[in-house]
Amino acid sequence: MKPITYLIIIVCAGLLFGCATAPPPELVNARQAYEKAINGPAAQLVPAELHKARVALTIAERSFQDDPKSFRTRDLAYIADRKAKMAEALAVTAAGNKATAKADKDYQATQTEIVKNTKEDLAASERTSELKSDQIAVEQTARVNAETKSAEAQTAQVDAENKTAEAQSAQVSAEAKTAAAQKAQLDAENRAAKAQADLVKLAAVKEEARGLVITLSGSVLFASNKSALLPGARDRLNQVAVALMETKERRLVIEGHTDSQGTSDYNQGLSQQRADAVRAYIISRGYSSDLIQANGIGEERPVADNTNAEGRANNRRVEIIIERTGLMGTNK
């Protein structure tokens, strides 16, 4: 693609996009600098430098299209502006060198003609020519050295500006990641609050050091001395599972408890079977099995007096503990 055609495409794209958002001054300056450079001697004398300017401008234009108001767009546009101006400056330098070389060639031709026409002044003319050639060479060397230093200084400045732009871009990316992490944390807290509010409507809920404890009556979930879930228990557990899915990244501990009637070994086994049944049902509703542990506690942790029917009914229960943090270990 010819440079002028490429520039027209960039400007048209900028104008179309500009209907919604005006380009920043840095991008306008970069476009003008590139147009000036491409219409000057740079296209013939320093095409490589002009290509760098075109690439930089393309990057700035794409950044403007992606995020018109970002600092990154301004920084990239400033870099493109500097590269276009550098291409123009180097072209002027190259043109000067070319003109100097032509002048030197013309001078040598003139001296040769003088030598041919004036044989008697040959020796003097040759000495004069040599002296002038030496002087010109010294002047050319000094000028080239000065121009080289100037170009190196400009290159160093552009490199420094590029590093500054990269650092600013990295900072913006880091800030965006921090904001995303904060939003994710806030969303998780909101989901946890909603889940707790929903669970309060379904069962007894309390905060303990080990986490949020949801207590379900054993008489609602199981028949006497049985570990199979009652039909009505499935409806209740389904509602609990829906609430638990709001914080499905948290690990759960399901504990089965019994009253003191019967032997300790029998109660231990029955409580484990009931805890396993509740765990299996919650897993069937979509909760990760790696995050749920089932423990049978038996009659070891009564919450009421086992000497009366009401106390024993309160002791026959299943507790679901939503732990605060951490990953699940081995499941039972």
> Per the domain annotation, does 331 fall within a domain?
no
Comparing 278 with 185, which gets the higher pLDDT? 278
- CA distances to 157, 228, 251, 308 from 274, rounded to whole Å, are 74, 7, 19, 23
- Same-domain pairing of 179 and 221: no
- Same-domain pairing of 162 and 229: no
> Per the domain annotation, does 194 fall within a domain?
no
DSSP designation for 290? G
Q: Which two tokens stand for residue 262?
A: 């019967």
User: Given this model, what pLDDT does residue 18 score?
Assistant: 47
Domain limits for position 61: 3-183
Band (331; pLDDT cuts 50, 70, 90): very low
For the segment 310-315, the average pLDDT, to the nearest whole number, is 89
CA dist 52 and 40 (Å) reads 16
> Per the domain annotation, does 241 fall within a domain?
yes
- Same-domain pairing of 217 and 177: no
Q: Which residues contact 243 (CB under 8 A, 6 or more apart)?
A: 195, 198, 199, 202
Taking the model in full, what pTM does it have?
Answer: 0.43
- Same-domain pairing of 141 and 256: no
Number of domains in the chain: 2
> Per the domain annotation, does 281 fall within a domain?
yes
- Residue indicated by tokens 């320093």: 46
> Per the domain annotation, does 193 fall within a domain?
no
Residue 68: phi, psi to the nearest 5?
-60, -30
Cα dihedral 167→173→175→176 (10° resolution): 160
* pLDDT tens-digit series, residues 63-112: 999 988 888 988 998 998 998 889 889 988 988 888 788 777 877 776 67
Candidate from 166-175, 183-192, 236-245, 308-317 with smallest mean pLDDT: 183-192
User: Helix, strand or coil for residue 222?
Assistant: strand
Comparing 5 with 328, which gets the higher pLDDT? 5
* pLDDT tens-digit series, residues 283-297: 999 999 999 999 999
Q: Exposure string (b/e) for 67-96, b if CB count within 10 Å is 16 or more?
A: ebebebbbbbbbbbbbbbbbbbbbbebbbe
> Per the domain annotation, does 195 fall within a domain?
no
> Per the domain annotation, does 58 fall within a domain?
yes
Is the pLDDT confidence value at 262 over 60? yes
Is the pLDDT confidence value at 327 over 50? no
- Same-domain pairing of 146 and 256: no
- Same-domain pairing of 74 and 106: yes
